[in-house]
Amino acid sequence: MIFGAITNSWRNHLAEQGLAELIAEAEARGSGHVELRQTCLGDCESGQGDDWRPNLPGLQSITDQFPALQFDLAMALPCLSGGVDPKGEQFQMALQAAKIVGREAPHLRLVDPDAAEAAWQSAGDIPESALDLANLAREAAAQGVTLSLENSGQPIGSMALLVEECRKRLSPQEGTYLGLCPDPTNQLRRFPGTDPLGDLDALPLDMLKIVHFKQARNGDPHPSVDTGDLDCGEMLRLLEAKNYQGPAIMEIPPHPDVFENLSHSYEFLNAASGR
């Protein structure tokens, strides 16, 4: 497993520090992966919403400066609401950016900002518009880009149902490029009383493309990955038992001491796994 950071944790720092400087600090703190999150890329992006575009030369420069780090690109996209054109300029540029930063293993993580009204309990609950995701996955697969979905508005198990249904519309090879970015704390905060770690444990390994660690206490965001509402140590042990080898991102909130909090998060998880 590769511990990593995400650029939205540095949202406040980007006003005074360049992206490369912040990535260098994350690497010095022990990060092996950095998730480059749309809206938190400094000079490496422009525009907002439908007008957002990655700065491809800027991202190439960032990637070249950190040959020992792994990267993926993350963006918000109404990918479960239908209507996103796989051949459209924005999605195509996002795929290009993912290929630049991901080198030999390009990865684009998507999160739909529009949460569904209720959790999907069965495949029949999934709207046809959400299944249009298969078209985006097919285009990503054709370019060798892994596509993962974060469970921002649905339980992990419901997102697994979506991936399973979309994979039925794809060839077996295309289906391997589509998976999830599970975030158990997202589920716990939106669906209290559910078992997000049980849902995570039920996922097949090939569906796990990247994972997010974060913590809350009494429902409020906690500045580091530590003890709290979710047993993050158990989450780590569960992933290790599944032999998950991919990135584990500390999605900790912005804070003046964010890098100290990042270091503490790594120390906590290393202690939890007995490293």
Identify which of 163, 143, 269 has the alpha carbon closest to the alpha carbon of residue 209. Answer: 163
CB 210 within 8 A of CB 182: no
Q: Residue 152's pLDDT is what?
A: 85
Q: Residue 53's pLDDT is what?
A: 97
Q: What is the pLDDT along the chain (275 residues), one digit of tens a residue?
A: 999 999 999 999 999 999 999 999 999 999 999 999 999 999 999 999 899 999 999 999 999 999 999 999 999 999 998 789 999 999 999 999 999 999 999 999 999 988 777 899 999 999 999 999 999 999 999 999 999 999 988 999 999 999 999 999 999 999 999 999 999 999 999 999 999 999 999 999 999 999 999 999 999 999 999 999 999 999 999 999 999 999 999 999 999 999 999 999 999 999 987 76
Q: Residue 114's pLDDT is what?
A: 84
Identify which of 38, 42, 47, 45 has the alpha carbon closest to the alpha carbon of residue 18. Answer: 42
Sequence-distant (6+) residues with CB within 8 A of 139 are: 86, 87, 91, 95
Residue 159 identity (one-letter amino acid): M
Give me 220's structure tokens. Answer: 């409020």
Q: Residue 275's pLDDT is what?
A: 66
Three-state secondary structure call for residue 105: coil
Q: How far is CA 252 from the centre of its chain?
A: 13
Three-state secondary structure call for residue 122: coil
Provide the 10 A C-beta neighbour count for residue 205. Answer: 12
Buried-state track 86-106, b at ≥16 Cβ within 10 A, e below 16: beeebbeebbbbbbbbbeeeb
Q: Residue 274's pLDDT is what?
A: 73
Dihedral of alpha carbons 249, 89, 61, 40, sign: negative
